[in-house]
Structure 1
Amino acid sequence: MLIIVHSQTNQRNIAQNLGRSEYSYYFVLKEYRPVLERLGRVMEVSDPQTEVDALYQDCLSRGEDCVFLSFSPPHHTPVHFSCPTLPVFAWEFSTIPNEPFAGEPRNDWRTVLRASGAAITHSSYTVNAVREAMGADYPIVAVPAPVWDRFAARGAQLQRQPLANQVKLKIKGVLADSRQLDLQAFGPAHLRTEGGIDFEAPPSEHELVLDGVIYTSVFNPSDGRKNWEDMLSAFCVTFRDVEDATLVFKLTHHDAEEALTDILHHLYKNQSYRCRIVLIYGYLADADYERLVQATRYVVNTAYGEGQCLPLMEFMSCGKPAVAPRTTAMIDYLDDDNAFIIDTTDELTAWPHDPRKAFRTLRYVTNWTSLCAAYRSSYEVAKDDPQRYAQMSAHAVASLERFCSQATTEQRLKVFFAQLFETSVEPALESPQV
């Protein structure tokens, strides 16, 4: 079987696309590829419009099965190819778009999903949302990006003590440390002092030393779903008098000033606190990223919803328990044995690509008091209960193996593709029950 793959973001344009809409599809494709290569020949195309059907016709002439996996949301998935085309997409809202808007019929995802006849997503939550719109027998499978093998191997080499001790890493880019900044430089304009960050300066190398109980979150600050404001304010309040608690934000974005400015202002607003806040914008070599993971005691997420959340999956695969809500995709791999669960409340919201901003779906708002309690409880375990920390760490690794190992991914895709190609290629996409 030939498996054709494509993502709008690729190795050539990832640097300028970091933090832009749907950039993470590139990373999902990268994680899928080794598994896809066990199932068939894989060919990545840069121009689907000219390449996909030509490859499909070539396969037909040889009697070879062929499928095009478009790593994109349905409204960006082509529906006019002769080649069987499946969207591979993430989604974190209670309903899928089920009406056209902005003059684009594909904005009604049902149109695309009917045309494709099947789809791949990353969580049981999304499978349920799709089947609510498409019918209980719609052929869709939940296959998260298989990150476990790579990160569990890293985690096996890391120390798993609850406290970090003088862990050093080098950063090329911008490093903002609440203990070294004059936060008045990021206050309101009429109160602002000199001494902020020169974003025009060329990237420089910094050494960061981490000690104590380290909480880490990796996210795009321009992604409105991430709700980093609650994560930061609750941390500053909970650990206002705690010197050995540190929150690290590893920021993924294409523009340093855009990524940091609002967060720096929030550092100013949440004063005063004795805990430490560290913002990392820039490149971390693999060895330094591993040291960040090593230093981390807990990975933190306070998002309104997640399609799968690669950073959370990666850190947990390394044996780092979470502080996070158990909603959307996170239902599949978080529990009380590997995470300190944050309570949430449903809230009406709009689909993110709907310019009308019409309330058509739900997101999940963090309970701020519950977040503070999760911070306190996790800190107490790190400081006073190393046995429980070790148990949570081991359970995180085991849970993520079941959720996102290459073996799990291979088995799910093998069964799914077998059902898709049970009969002749083109009608096969109408019939399987997955």
Structure 2
Amino acid sequence: MAQDGFCGSTMNTLILIGSKINQESIQHSLGKPEYSYFFLMKEFIPALQRLGTVVEVKNLDEVDALYDLHSAQGRKVIFLSFSPPQQTPLGLRCPTVPVFAWEFDSIPDEPWGGDPRNDWRYVFERIQGCIATSSEAADLVRAATQGRLPVLAAPAPVWERFGENECHQGLLPRQSPRHIAFSGVIIDSPILGLSADGLVRKIEPAAAPEPVVEAVAQPEMEQVSEPAVVSRWAEYRRISQVLFSDWWLEFTGRPRKVEEPVAIVAPPPVAVAATNLQVEGVVYTTVLNPADGRKNWIDLITAFCWAFRDEPGATLVVKMTHHNLEHYRVVLMTLLSRLAPFSCRVVVLHGFLEDDQYRQLVDASDYYVNASSCEGLCLPLMEFLCAGKPALAPRHTAMADYLDSSLAFLVRGALEPTCWPHDPTGMLSTHRYRLDWQSLMEAFRASYALARDDARGYQKLSAAALRRMKAFCAFMPVTDALGAFFEQVVDDSRGVETRVRSVAR
């Protein structure tokens, strides 16, 4: 139920929200640009509903129409655009605030492509405030605007949804079987018959020539066609192109054309309409977009398989957030085949998880794993920590706001140059963190030993995660910060309008 005003004033408030992706389109938008902003908006809605009446707008025409209607009645109105600054609508009469995640140590300051909004400073001069999901990003905006723009660092308030019912003494590791309801495609390593032999082209020895016998008719030889072999090598070539394309996109920001597949080399995944997936032992989970090279998912899987190649008690569950299985399936199957044989288990889930299914995944896990080179927030990591699940992750970018060694096995990394993800020039204008693969592999082994041999040590990490996340992203602290920020934005909006008019002149 909405309360009056942002912080208890006598006027009710209208909070307009919008994102490129909505509830109807999210299942078909997984992995597409900015799909994660839908989940970010969804997490903020309960806090916003405590501050006013929340209305989700489907198009920009609604924003100013609602603003004119309700402001004429004396109501405070604000529009939150859950989008990066370069996609934030400008020129609206309604006070506009982007809510965005940013994972680099500098902000775009070049108007490439003839669009001045690509220079974020241009956008900041024409909006009424900014909400960033990390302290690092908020500080960058403050520096770029020299303190003239109201800026708030606010994480998504996810604590109550995952942590309020947990034992605050910390959880104990679970070795017994657990079940996850899932509808979609499952790729489960133990039942795939993985072998690197399938990746090697076998050269058949040349047959000895048939002796020539005069005046004797030879039987017609069966013709053995080669299209299967040719198709297989065409597919291997495509795999190499896909792997190279990920590198090319990561470092240049421009996609590279990949040939269409000619044949399927990898064993087909196990496709099911609905199933009850069982996991046991020490269960590690990660949720990622395989199209995002910053997630380092190939390194994550190789480090896991190498750490536990002789350990059948370790399971890695990878929830892929992408709408197209074929985008990554062949690369994944080739990777697992090259790593085989290994005793540990890798389970890849492809498909949309409903809220109750996602909660089952969280409950069934012992650890969450993040191997990213940079993060703007990482909602899954926060959610698992709120549920008392310790992590394996690097402490950098947005994760530095809530991670430390008391609740996670920290993975090392080092700064390296990179480009902004939407910069078509591919200029190395900013930085990210290169993953230390050895550190990740060692974190897998150390965390496994703790969960298997030291239940109280694991419980200590779990309790620290619960305490830290309650202080960081509980409902009321985030709501109070948002309310005070909204008051400042609305009070300053007239001055900003005057400043915008002077900029336009």
Contact 1:117 1:430 in 2 (8 A): no
Which runs of 5 or more structure 1 residues have no equivalent in the other structure?
none
Which runs of 5 or more structure 2 residues have no equivalent in the other structure?
1-12, 201-231, 237-262, 500-505
Deviations 1:33-68 (A, max 9, x none): 1111111121111011x1111111112312222111
Q: How much does 1:73 deviate?
A: 0.4
Closer/same/farther in 2, CA of residues 414 and 430 from structure 1, 3 Å limit: farther
Q: How much does 1:132 deviate?
A: 3.1
**From 178, 183, 196, the counterpart of 2:267:** 196
TM-score where L is the length of structure 2 = 0.80
Equivalent residue number for residue 100 of structure 2:
89
Contact 1:337 1:395 in 2 (8 A): yes
Q: How much does 1:236 deviate?
A: 1.1
Q: Distance in 2 between matches of 1:430 and 1:253?
A: 44
1:364 aligns with 2:419: no
Q: Distance in 2 between matches of 1:338 and 1:157?
A: 14
1:22 aligns with 2:91: no
In the TM superposition, 1:192-271 aligns within 5 A as 196-197=267-268, 203-271=272-340
Equivalent residue number for residue 455 of structure 2:
386
Contact 1:84 1:426 in 2 (8 A): no
Closer/same/farther in 2, CA of residues 338 and 160 from structure 1, 3 Å limit: same
Equivalent residue number for residue 413 of structure 2:
344
Q: Distance in 1 between matches of 2:127 and 2:488?
A: 15
Counterpart residue identity of residue 399, structure 2 = M
Equivalent residue number for residue 319 of structure 1:
388
Counterpart residue identity of residue 92, structure 2 = F
Q: Distance in 2 between matches of 1:420 and 1:288?
A: 39
Equivalent residue number for residue 367 of structure 2:
298
Closer/same/farther in 2, CA of residues 370 and 406 from structure 1, 3 Å limit: same
More deviation, 112-121/84-93: 112-121
Q: How much does 1:259 deviate?
A: 4.0
**SS of residue matched to 1:10:** coil
In the TM superposition, 1:158-173 aligns within 5 A as 160-173=171-184
**From 416, 426, 432, the counterpart of 2:494:** 426
Contact 1:319 1:393 in 2 (8 A): yes
Closer/same/farther in 2, CA of residues 367 and 289 from structure 1, 3 Å limit: same
Counterpart residue identity of residue 297, structure 2 = W
Q: How much does 1:6 deviate?
A: 0.4
Contact 1:252 1:281 in 2 (8 A): yes
Equivalent residue number for residue 309 of structure 1:
378
Contact 1:253 1:259 in 2 (8 A): no
- Percent identity between matched residues is 43
Q: Distance in 1 between matches of 2:498 and 2:160?
A: 34
Counterpart residue identity of residue 30, structure 1 = K
Closer/same/farther in 2, CA of residues 132 and 269 from structure 1, 3 Å limit: farther
1:40 aligns with 2:109: no
Deviations 1:370-409 (A, max 9, x none): 1112112111111111111111101111111122111121
**From 17, 23, 47, the counterpart of 1:11:** 23
Equivalent residue number for residue 88 of structure 2:
77
More deviation, 62-71/321-330: 62-71
Contact 2:185 2:269 in 1 (8 A): no
Q: Distance in 1 between matches of 2:266 and 2:331?
A: 17
Closer/same/farther in 2, CA of residues 285 and 419 from structure 1, 3 Å limit: closer
**From 63, 73, 81, the counterpart of 1:52:** 63
Closer/same/farther in 2, CA of residues 292 and 154 from structure 1, 3 Å limit: farther
Deviations 1:273-305 (A, max 9, x none): 211111111244544433322221110000111
Closer/same/farther in 2, CA of residues 287 and 36 from structure 1, 3 Å limit: closer
- Point out the structure with max Rg over C-alpha: 2
Q: Distance in 2 between matches of 1:131 and 1:215?
A: 38
Q: Distance in 1 between matches of 2:140 and 2:175?
A: 41
Contact 1:212 1:245 in 2 (8 A): yes
Contact 1:247 1:278 in 2 (8 A): yes
Closer/same/farther in 2, CA of residues 412 and 261 from structure 1, 3 Å limit: farther
